Amino acid sequence: MKRLGDFTVNGKHEYMEGRKRISPGRIIPVSFLLAILFGTFLLMLPVSSATGESQDLVTALFTATTSVCVTGLVVVDTYAAWSLFGKIVILILIQLGGLGIISFTSMMMILLRRRFSIEDRQLLVDAMNFDTGNGLLRFLIRIFRWTFAVEGFGALLYTFEFIPRYGLIRGIWYSVFTAISAFCNAGIDILGPDSLISFNRDPWVLCVTMLMIILGGLGYVVWFDVTDVTIEGIKNRFTPSQTFHRFSVHTKLVLTLTASLIVLGAVVIFPAEFNNPATMGDMTVGQKILNSIFQSVTYRTAGFAAVPQDGLTPVSVLIGFFLMFIGGSPIGTAGGVKTVTMFIVGINIIAFVRQRNETVVYKREIYPELIRKATAIVSVSLGAVLVMSLLLLATNDAPMEDALFEMFSAIATVGLSRGLTPNLTVIGKLIVIVSMFLGRIGPISLAIFFAGKKSGQNRLDYARGKFYVG
């Protein structure tokens, strides 16, 4: 496999179509918007509703948005409000959103043997957040093969629990739906009204769900690097340490950050919820440890709830804000600003405090342009959370803690809620819809979307101004 760059945060290109320049900051959001509108149309059909009557526009729009944006916030219970047809539509939208509309379109072009133009390749580079187009189509085909293989494996693991519980046909259907939703980090389920709360003492379901969430959130570059290097290590009889050192710096950083964030979240949540009767108070120590780890994992854009989120202590809610905002890793199905993005901002602050001229990780320098991009993504995303939270509080009678939780969850495409979503006003629901949409395009092109047309280099050299900060 060809390396796609040591560190990946975002990309930026412009494409020529005739004489017009079309930026990915417009193409990518429009593709998601069209998928949402088409999904809304399908979900408004009477055949999509469990009652046989058309759902209202806001409910259909909200459900289509949360599915395409793989968020998981819902205004109606998915298992009860939608027919089999409606659930299939939702599942397809989740898969589309998880892998990306542009990726699916490109895959269809490959299957139809249509030639890729330079513009097509450049658009795919931006949509998938790459920094180069080398080996892109081979990489895309590999993504789809591995995705369907991993989702199939996850569904197989779920059947051991769901078939005995729900019967053969329903058990297989529930397994497939849950596996795809977990891998795509959507958090939407059709098991009942309380997500996975009824399974919070079932280690098998929780562990399979965590496995799928983590695999989806690691990113495809990490998958393939780990696989290729591990196979090479087995052939050459390398030790685990030797194998790890042969990973790319991006892979080593993602694996380290992912493990560290999971442990950090669990270590904070475990004591905070240990004696909380609303969440884990009546569980055994082993169950508390497992559910603390699960809560830490699901905070990272997954959206499945194993304990009531409105019963969490303030400490767990606060660490949740932090973990939700970070999200998963680049070039995967997870949301958030991404682990590497947040790390680059943090390590740059440390470098400044230590008065170092360069920012170095694993003996590799992070170039200034990447630091600027990471800073822009984090700043704009945090600003969006604050602005949308203010709008939600101004238009809905909601506690500030719940409103912030809702907005971090929506913009980071997590899908966890403290029970606020179904009780929002129409305006409140529209605010959440916009937030989910901004959150989904954010890690890909939010900075580009707000930047507008590229202005290029400064045409004049200016004298340095004297400014004061800090």
Residue 193 belongs to some domain of the structure? yes
Instruction: Give the whole-angstrom CA distance, residue 76 versus residue 62.
Output: 10
CB contact set of 395 (below 8 Å; sequence gap of 6+): 425, 427, 428, 431
Share of the chain above pLDDT 90, in %: 49
Report pLDDT for 418.
92
Instruction: Check residue 469 and give its pLDDT.
Output: 66
468 within some domain: no
Q: Is residue 431 a part of any domain in this protein?
A: yes
Residue 357 has pLDDT above 80, yes or no: no
Residue of 153, 137, 347, 332 whose CA lies nearest to 225:
332
* DSSP class per residue in 55-80: PPHHHHHHHHHHHHTT----SS-HHH
12 has pLDDT over 50: no
Task: Write the pLDDT tens digit of every residue in 263-272.
Answer: 999 999 999 9
Q: Is residue 4 part of a domain?
A: no
Q: What is the pLDDT of residue 7?
A: 52
3-state DSSP call for residue 365?
strand
Tell me the whole-structure pTM to 2 decimals.
0.85
The token duo for 67 is: 């599915």
Q: Over the stretch 384-409, which tens digit does the pLDDT of each residue have?
A: 899 999 999 999 999 999 999 999 99
Kindly report the average pLDDT of the chain as a whole number.
Answer: 83
The rounded distance, in Å, linking the Cα atoms of 451 and 175 is 42
Q: Which segment, 108-117, 321-330, 348-357, 456-465, is predicted with the most confidence on average?
A: 321-330
110 part of a folded domain: yes
Classify residue 459: in a domain, yes or no. Answer: no
Mean pLDDT of 438-460: 58
pLDDT at 10: 44
What six digits make up the tokens of 400? 């500030």
Number of domains in the chain: 1
Q: Which residue range forms the structural domain that includes residue 34?
A: 15-450
What's the token pair of residue 429? 């629901």
pLDDT higher for 83 or 469? Answer: 83
Does any domain span residue 457?
no
Segment holding 21, helix H or strand E: strand 20-22
Residue 466 lies in a domain: no
